[in-house]
Amino acid sequence: MQDNHSHENHEISYSTYLLVWVSLIAFTSITVAVAGINLGDYTLFVALCIAALKSGLVINIFMHIKFEDPIFKVFIGISIFTLIVIFTLTFFDYFYR
């Protein structure tokens, strides 16, 4: 029973959610504005960094991972690591073919 309600101790207030939403909209505006500037090779890198920041906010706050059991974070870490390995191996193959 205790487990069922463990996360209830971390009820997030409406204002926190609103604040996160405002940040997400702000990041979106930044990413659109930055896309107009020619940063050469860094354009994609900057866009992906902003997208990663936004994802972090959504995962941690909206999806409650910040307050979830640590095993959830381990799972997410493993999935992201798996994706990175797949990308890295594919690009090794692609570049040195």
Q: Which residues bind another protein (CB under 8 A)?
A: 1, 3-6, 8, 11-14, 17-18, 20-21, 24-25, 28, 31-32, 35-36, 38, 43, 47-48, 50-51, 54-55, 58-59, 61-64, 68-69, 71-72, 75-76, 79, 82-83, 86-87, 90-91, 94
Which residue bears the tokens 């692609």? Answer: 94
Give the chain's radius of gyration (CA, Å).
18
**Alpha-carbon distance 53 to 73, whole Å?**
16
Question: What is the closest distance, in whole angstroms, from the C-beta atom of residue 96 to another protein in the complex?
Answer: 14
Residue 38: both structure tokens together: 């020619």
